[in-house]
């Protein structure tokens, strides 16, 4: 029996590391996430079981992002079966985000995020981008661009008008 090639150990180590990394990445994409808001409160998808969850990626310099925020606050107040979580990305200083939160009087938690956090959810190539999860924890899909309260309520009601609004993630 021939001895293994001396270079197989590094190749095997890289393959194992790659497989582990892909498993961890798939876990994040499948909804195994933890977000900590600006006040230190942690949110997990499992912790929101039984509720719809809308994770919205936004930036303080993005007009469409800022325009959808009052609607999200109204939804949060109106629906006890919904948890909106805003994730701020691409900001210079924490103060920029906190100023928006204060000016908008937001009724939902805001996470001080970054681009790598956005990547944990899937592709975020446009702001705003939102990910909607059903009460059973299943990812309904994502939406690039602004959303209205009506859009979200139609998706929650699974109305035909909302078909195609959230795409590509199941």
- For position 135, what pLDDT does the model report? 95
Q: At 162, give phi and psi (nearest 5°).
A: -90, -5
pLDDT band at 3 (very low <50, low <70, confident <90, very high): low
Residue 89, SS3 per DSSP: coil
How far is C-alpha 30 from the chain's CA centre?
A: 11
Show the domains of the chain with their CATH numbers: 34-162 (3.40.30.10)
Predicted confidence (pLDDT) at residue 8 exceeds the cutoff of 90: no
pLDDT band at 7 (very low <50, low <70, confident <90, very high): low
Question: How is residue 65 written in tokens?
Answer: 């992002």
Q: What is the pLDDT of residues 9-58, one digit of tens each?
A: 443 333 333 232 333 333 344 467 999 999 999 999 999 999 999 999 99
At which residue do the structure tokens 């942690």 appear? 42
Q: What is the pTM of this model?
A: 0.80
Q: How many separate helices (H) and strands (E) can be counted in the chain?
A: 5, 7
Predicted confidence (pLDDT) at residue 169 exceeds the cutoff of 70: no
- Residues near 113 by beta carbon (within 8 Å), at least 6 away in sequence: 35, 57, 87, 88, 89
At which residue do the structure tokens 């325009």 appear? 67
Residue 138 near residue 50, CB atoms below 8 Å: no
Q: What is the pLDDT of residues 112-145, one digit of tens each?
A: 998 888 888 888 899 999 999 999 999 999 999 9
Higher pLDDT, 4 or 161: 161
Predicted confidence (pLDDT) at residue 76 exceeds the cutoff of 60: yes
Percent share of the chain, pLDDT over 90: 66
Per-residue DSSP letter, 113 = -
At which residue do the structure tokens 């270079």 appear? 7
């Amino acid at each position: 029996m021939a001895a293994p090639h001396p270079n197989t150990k590094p190749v095997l180590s890289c393959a194992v590391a790659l497989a582990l990394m892909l498993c961890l990445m798939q876990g994040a994409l499948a909804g195994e996430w933890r977000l900590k808001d600006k006040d230190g409160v942690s949110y997990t998808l499992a912790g929101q079981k039984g509720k719809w969850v809308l994770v919205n990626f936004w930036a303080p310099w993005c007009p469409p992002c800022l325009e959808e925020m009052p609607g999200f606050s109204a939804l949060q107040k109106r629906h006890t079966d919904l948890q909106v979580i805003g994730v701020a990305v691409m900001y210079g200083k924490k103060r920029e985000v906190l100023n928006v939160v204060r000016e908008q009087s937001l009724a939902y938690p805001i996470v001080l995020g970054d681009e790598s956090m956005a990547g944990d959810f899937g592709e975020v190539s446009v702001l705003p981008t939102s990910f909607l999860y059903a009460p059973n924890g299943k990812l309904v899909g994502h939406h690039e661009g602004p959303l209205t309260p009506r859009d979200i309520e139609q998706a929650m009601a699974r109305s035909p008008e909302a078909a195609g609004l959230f795409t590509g993630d199941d």
